[in-house]
Chains A and B, each alone.
Chain A
Amino acid sequence: MNQLLLHIAQWIESLSWSTRLHESYYMYNWIESTHVLTISLFLGMLFFIDFRMLGLTMTNVPASRIAARLHTPMMIGFVVMIVTGLLLYFAVPVRVTQSIWFRIKLVLLVAAGINAWYFNRKMRESSAKWEDQSRAPKPLRVSVTMSLMLWAGVITTGRLIAYDWYDCYRVQSEFIAWAAGCLAE
């Protein structure tokens, strides 16, 4: 699997536009800035939905209304982050593929997505019974707390990608080398 991922990354890296993007001063920086700043839109809306479920804000507004009204701007932000995230990956594919922090980030992203699907399903099934209450029922509050923790993890691991403590060119433990998929420096 690591070999396949590395081959794909090396193929992307061999493309001229990958090199042009990586070496550009303004384009790469603007893409990264957009990726970072859009978390205010995507996760900002998501955090406020979660805060409402926990009874921390706008408790006099039905919870399902807040979730519904903030869904569109949140998804606009999500699309922008996915597009810019892919472009950032395409600019430095080999290093990012072999970054343990990037791999953990992807796992957390998938987990957050599954958690979001579970939360939305449960909310749709039950919101009529509790949406005017200040807090969601306990199972949903647990899911929302998981959401906040998972996204905090995504933010943290995303930030840590820039640090080279566990890069493959350094001597690493066998576990780290395996988990990061170190096959090429």
Chain B
Amino acid sequence: MDLLVYFEWMESSLLGAIGKSYGGVYAIAQSVHLMSLVVLGGAVLLTDLRLLNLIMKDVPSETVVNQAHHWFKVALVSITLTGVFMAAAVALRLYYNQFFWAKMLSLFAGVLFVFLVKLPLLSSAPHAELSPVSVRLVALASIAVWFTVAATGRWIGFS
């Protein structure tokens, strides 16, 4: 399936036109994208550093995970919406950018990991009954995948 036609359509769409014509709007979208990164990254770090027993050791990890996950979802929606808007303005450049595809793959992997691996594991039993090795591996994998998403996203701008 050739995605080029979709990227061409996206860049010629109204969204793409707005992003290209109004630099201020584009800059604000980038800033909201960054603020969403703060919340999403903060939620990930809060959860994973707690699962690694590095912070908030006197707060039940179930509380931290459940509460942080709510803001993770909010930030994921916001970061996706602003990301689509930003991508529309430079869609064809992104199509040929290897870091963009690396980010999309890692984002896809990250979302699958959270909803199909991490959350099912952490909601399957009280955390004290789960294998500590499994919990720590999940936390480390989560940090690694979301770091990759953020880093490849930044490197889009450098390439």
Contacts from A to B (Cβ < 8 Å): 29, 32-33, 36-37, 39-41, 43-45, 47-48, 51, 57-58, 60-61, 65-66, 69-70, 72-73, 152, 155-156, 159-160, 163, 165
Contact = CB atoms under 8 A, between A and B. Distances in A.
A155 B35 contact: yes
Contacts of A72: 55
Interface of B: 23, 27-28, 30-31, 34-35, 37-46, 49, 54-56, 58-59, 63-64, 67-68, 70-71, 147, 150-151, 154-155, 158
B44 A165 contact: no
Contact of B23 (A69, A156, A165): A165
Contacts of B55: 69-70, 72-73
Contacts, number: 95
A29 B39 contact: no
A57 B67 contact: yes
Contacts of A61: 59, 63
B63 A40 contact: no
A85 to B, nearest CB: 15
Q: Does more than half of chain A's interface fall in helix, strand or loop, or is it mixed?
A: helix
Classify the secondary structure of B's interface with A. helix
B155 A44 contact: no
A48 B154 contact: no
A73 B23 CA distance: 35
A40 B45 contact: yes
A33 B156 CA distance: 11
A33 B58 CA distance: 33
Nearest to B70: A57
Interface centre among B42, B59, B151 (most CB of A within 10 A): B42
Given A39-B37, A70-B56, 20 more contacts: A29-B158, A33-B154, A37-B147, A37-B150, A37-B151, A39-B38, A40-B38, A40-B45, A44-B43, A45-B42, A47-B39, A48-B42, A48-B71, A57-B71, A58-B67, A69-B59, A73-B45, A73-B49, A73-B54, A155-B35
Contact of A36 (B34, B64, B147): B34
A57 B58 CA distance: 16
Contacts of A39: 34, 37-38, 41
Contact of B41 (A44, A70, A159): A44
A163 B23 contact: yes
A152 B35 contact: yes
